[in-house]
A and B are shown apart, each in its own frame.
Chain A
Amino acid sequence: MIHAQKPFWPYLLAAPMALSFSAWSQSTAAHDVDFTVDEAAMIRIVDANASPAGMMNFHIQAPAIPGQAFPGVAAQTAYMQFTSVKGASPDNVRQVDVDLIGGSLPSGVQLTVSPTLFGTGTVGSAAPITFSANNGTGTLISGIQSAYTGEGPGDGVLLQYALNFATQNLDAASSGMITLRYTISNS
């Protein structure tokens, strides 16, 4: 009886080829790459030194000579710094609103917040808001998409605060606390 013996050489050839295929498959293997982008909304208000804004004092001083009206006070500034990465609709456009939520301004005294936009990307468009006894809300910036303002000194949306008044409307007994709330939301 003759037993046909399997030839051995094919295995010898196959072994290095298998090693080769193995090496080839290593170099072309598909890797799942999972990446996520934070759909971020970040906002802060800082002073000219990029430090969290502290006190902003408007001192309405008496005139030097009797009979004169109270002189105006110089406007002051702060910076709104933000980072925004939009997502799919409905979170594809954002806006910043400001509301006077605590206290009130006496009749005849107005506080105007005027924004000047600076930043990279779609920072939107800005409009001033005048707070008074009759108005306590407004949209400061609209149309924000993916953008950032920078985080260093002088970076950000310049906010100019101007106090307007007439002497006859002032009352030194007017004192209290006013809260301005900045809200960022989707439009």
Chain B
Amino acid sequence: MICWEQGGRLGALLLVLSWSASAQISVINGLAHFHPCGSRGHGEILVHNSLDTSVTVLLEVEYMGGSPKISIPSEWVLDAGERGAIPYQWIETDSSSQRARIGVYPLYTSPVTRFGGWAVQTQLRYVVSLYRGCLSPSPENEVRAEWDSTLTWQMVGPHFWSAQVQAYGDLGEAIEAPFNLFLAPFGTSVSQPVPPGTAYVVARDSRGHQVGCKRP
């Protein structure tokens, strides 16, 4: 809520940063959950209240296009020191690809109003990304990789893909540790820095599919 005050202080401006960081909550089971199609259609967000007073946690769903397809409470009260499991349920559990972002933040009190200045309030928020859909059956046809100053991956098909990417040198020697890659079918791309000396990279998923890309 934004409250504007009338008037000001002649000859001076007072900008007030009013921190509202006292409500201390944290998310302890990750900021992204992926539910492959065929798996259960529900999950939970674990939130911890580290204060010695109860806290009301607000949950706000940001739908990424389309109609609402997830059910989750909008409020959850945590007692002092409590870890709460906030359940959510995908409404449609077919094979379509879906995602939502859940904003998680504590209910905070209104800031002190000040005449003759700006009051700037600070809010802390966690966003948990939820994904549901099928893994790509043919990533060689659906995954695109482009070299620039970085390596950019993009899923051009309608599926998700999760893989480990290994960089190799000219002699086929592995360079540095492999890194994780997760691609969603919504046009978003993932850019990763490439270690020096990389001649090509190979992305492998857990089912043995591989996508290789040689440095131009």
Contact = CB atoms under 8 A, between A and B. Distances in A.
Q: In this complex, which of A89, A161, A180 has the most chain B Cβ atoms within 10 angstroms of its Cβ?
A: A89
Contacts, number: 184
Interface stretch (B71-79, B88-96, B126-134, B139-147): B126-134
B125 A41 contact: no
B162 interface: yes
Interface secondary structure of B, over-half rule: strand
Contacts of A177: 2-4, 111, 113, 118-121
Interface stretch (B9-17, B168-176, B194-202): B9-17
Contact of B11 (A62, A83, A101): A62
Given A39-B29, A94-B31, A88 B180 contact: yes
B12 A57 contact: no
Contacts of B162: 89-90
B16 A172 contact: no
A172 B150 CA distance: 47
Interface residues of A, number: 53
B4 A176 contact: yes
B14 A52 contact: no
Nearest to B192: A93
A59 interface: yes
Q: In this complex, which of B9, B22, B32, B131 has the most chain A Cβ atoms within 10 angstroms of its Cβ?
A: B32
B92 to A, nearest CB: 21
Contact of A175 (B5, B17, B125, B129): B5
A40 interface: yes
Given A103-B2, A175-B115, A178-B118, A45 B30 contact: no
B30 A172 contact: no
Interface string A162-187: 01000000111111111111111110
A172 B8 CA distance: 5
15 contacts: A38-B28, A40-B26, A40-B28, A58-B14, A59-B12, A60-B14, A90-B34, A91-B32, A94-B31, A103-B120, A171-B8, A172-B13, A175-B115, A176-B4, A179-B120
Given A180-B122, A183-B127, 20 more contacts: A39-B29, A39-B30, A45-B122, A52-B22, A52-B24, A55-B112, A56-B16, A56-B17, A87-B30, A89-B162, A90-B184, A91-B33, A161-B17, A163-B15, A175-B118, A176-B119, A177-B111, A178-B121, A179-B2, A183-B125
